């Protein structure tokens, strides 16, 4: 693959992930971490960038995203994909992108509620760009992403060379366990589940450049993951530093969006507000285009539906649900996202630890993947209740003592790793036994 094509796919991948949430999490972390920004950001980057990058590498090794669930029974694999694309698409991910784009990018400049009109226009533009999936790399990777990066660089340079303040003392949470809290915040970006969905778009983009041989696809996906990781790391570090130096203007801010808005207003005045609005709207647009493409591509390959028809349905549902309001969207859809995320990561880990040649017995391999999925589902449900603060106090206290990583919202991880470790050891012993008999 030519270097400029590889770079374009890498830029497209970065833009697909760079939604409003990715711009809002780091400033909040930076403000709270203060002088402990470095260890907090190290933890944040491990989970917010490392997990998605690992997912992209694993999907590249599989050559096809659908191979991620091939060891599962067909009904279970199909259920997983439908739930995933519904959650990150029209049920949660895309409506949230529209409402966030409106709340931060448009609402500050208007006096009345124009969410309905904005959602219609935004959805129409999304549909227009998504209708030609073969041109997605050209639209996003070669045009929109470079403009987005230039705007982010302008904001980062202002923070570095003309900061509004200096990092303050860290908040209580970040005084002793900055790395741990950074890990949790990075995990909560949920980009690992987005990586599974975006894998359909990225693998298709690689194939469209004539790369179809499995090893070549794997190598290209690895390079794309590196480009994404470098760019996203730079973005997160810059936005984290913005938050760390924003105390003079955003000391009482309650979320990352408010911190960012107050910072750019203090740094650039009205021009800063326009800059932030443009960044947010463009970031959300690239995300909705990518998610529309991923959803439509899945249904096209699985159910042989026409791409334009599925895209229209997905975007129409998104526009309708977006007008319910961000709070309603979060209330209804967030629990599903919180449960699906550990399930998706567990399946990725299964494909990483147990490659296709490790287990020769298909039934045994299928059993392992099913066990991992339901283990992640069970403990992920426990973590979701914890995050949503729905766990009864007495049970919460018991889980704090009995479940490793429960306080880090990752109680699913150790049980899944134990299952995978046992299966891996069992698999590598079998060939040895055969050799001895022979």
Say if CB 404 and CB 411 are below 8 A apart: yes
Give the integer Cα–Cα distance in Å for 148 and 283.
7
Please choose, from the candidates 168, 209, 145, the residue with its C-alpha nearest in 3D space to the C-alpha of residue 5. Answer: 209
* pLDDT at residue number 316: 94
Please choose, from the candidates 59, 58, 14, 32, the residue with its C-alpha nearest in 3D space to the C-alpha of residue 282. Answer: 14
Please choose, from the candidates 301, 92, 316, 54, the residue with its C-alpha nearest in 3D space to the C-alpha of residue 195. Answer: 54
Please choose, from the candidates 405, 401, 425, the residue with its C-alpha nearest in 3D space to the C-alpha of residue 413. Answer: 405
Give the integer Cα–Cα distance in Å for 355 and 357.
6
Give the integer Cα–Cα distance in Å for 404 and 406.
5
Please choose, from the candidates 329, 276, 234, 265, the residue with its C-alpha nearest in 3D space to the C-alpha of residue 24. Answer: 276
Please choose, from the candidates 247, 90, 278, 111, the residue with its C-alpha nearest in 3D space to the C-alpha of residue 166. Answer: 247
Give the integer Cα–Cα distance in Å for 284 and 242.
20
Give the integer Cα–Cα distance in Å for 398 and 383.
13
* pLDDT at residue number 25: 86
Give the integer Cα–Cα distance in Å for 286 and 94.
11
Say if CB 11 and CB 142 are below 8 A apart: yes
Burial of 434 (0-12, 13-18, 19+ CB in 10 A): exposed
Overall residue count recorded for the chain in this entry: 438
Identify the helix (H) or strand (E) that includes residue 108.
none
* pLDDT at residue number 112: 84
- Predicted model pTM: 0.86
Residue 196: how many other CB atoms lie within 10 Å: 29
* DSSP structure class, residue 391: S
From first to last of its 438 residues, the chain has per-residue pLDDT tens of: 788 889 989 988 998 888 777 888 899 999 999 999 999 999 999 999 999 999 999 999 888 788 889 889 999 999 999 999 998 889 888 998 898 888 888 888 888 888 899 999 999 999 988 887 666 666 676 777 788 788 888 888 888 888 888 899 998 889 888 998 898 888 878 888 889 988 888 998 898 888 989 899 999 999 999 999 999 999 999 999 999 998 888 878 777 878 888 888 888 888 888 888 888 888 888 889 889 988 998 888 888 889 899 999 999 999 999 888 766 776 777 778 888 889 999 999 988 887 644 445 667 778 889 999 999 999 999 998 988 888 999 999 999 999 998 888 889 999 999 998 888 787 776 654 444 444
* pLDDT at residue number 433: 43
Q: What is the CATH number of domain 3-323?
A: 1.20.1740.10
Give the integer Cα–Cα distance in Å for 387 and 185.
12
- To which residue do tokens 């287990």 refer? 359
* DSSP structure class, residue 106: T
Domain ranges of the chain: 3-323, 326-428
């Amino acid at each position: 693959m030519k270097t400029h094509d590889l770079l374009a796919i890498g830029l497209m991948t970065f833009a697909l992930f760079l939604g409003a949430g990715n711009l809002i999490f780091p400033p909040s972390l930076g403000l709270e971490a203060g002088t402990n920004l470095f260890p907090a950001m190290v933890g944040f980057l491990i989970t917010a960038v490392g997990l998605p990058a690992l997912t992209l590498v694993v999907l590249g090794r599989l050559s096809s995203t659908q191979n991620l669930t091939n060891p599962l029974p067909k009904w279970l694999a199909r259920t997983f994909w439908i739930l995933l694309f519904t959650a990150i698409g029209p049920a949660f991910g895309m409506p949230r992108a529209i409402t966030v784009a409106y709340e931060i990018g448009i609402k500050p400049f208007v006096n009345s509620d124009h969410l309905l009109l904005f959602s219609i226009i935004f959805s129409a533009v999304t549909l227009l760009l998504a209708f030609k999936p073969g041109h997605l790399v050209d639209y996003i990777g070669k045009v929109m992403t470079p403009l987005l990066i230039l705007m982010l660089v302008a904001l980062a340079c202002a923070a570095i060379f003309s900061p509004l303040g200096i990092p303050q003392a860290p908040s209580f949470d970040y005084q002793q366990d900055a790395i741990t809290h950074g890990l949790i915040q990075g995990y909560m970006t949920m980009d690992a589940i987005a990586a599974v969905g975006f894998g359909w778009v990225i693998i298709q983009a690689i194939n469209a450049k004539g790369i179809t041989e499995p090893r070549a696809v794997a190598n290209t996906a690895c390079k794309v993951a590196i480009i994404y990781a470098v760019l996203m790391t730079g973005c997160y570090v810059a936005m984290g530093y913005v938050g760390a130096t924003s105390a003079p203007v955003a000391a009482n801010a309650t979320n990352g969006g408010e911190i960012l808005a107050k910072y750019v207003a203090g740094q650039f005045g009205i021009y800063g507000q326009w800059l932030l609005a443009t960044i947010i709207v463009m970031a959300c647009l690239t995300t909705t285009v990518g998610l529309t493409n991923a959803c439509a591509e899945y249904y096209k390959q699985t159910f042989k539906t026409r791409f334009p028809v599925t895209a229209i349905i997905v975007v129409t549902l998104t526009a309708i649900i977006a007008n319910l309001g961000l709070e309603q969207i979060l209330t209804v859809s967030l629990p599903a996202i919180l449960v699906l995320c550990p399930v998706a990561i567990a399946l990725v880990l299964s494909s990483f630890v147990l490659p296709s040649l490790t287990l020769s017995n298909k039934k045994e391999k299928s059993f392992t993947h099913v066990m991992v999925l339901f283990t992640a589902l069970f403990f992920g449900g426990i973590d979701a209740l914890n995050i949503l603060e729905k766990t009864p106090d007495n049970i919460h206290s018991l889980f704090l003592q009995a479940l490793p990583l429960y306080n880090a919202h990752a109680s699913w991880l150790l049980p899944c790793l134990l299952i995978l470790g046992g299966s891996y050891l069992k698999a590598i012993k079998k060939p040895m036994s055969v050799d001895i008999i022979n």
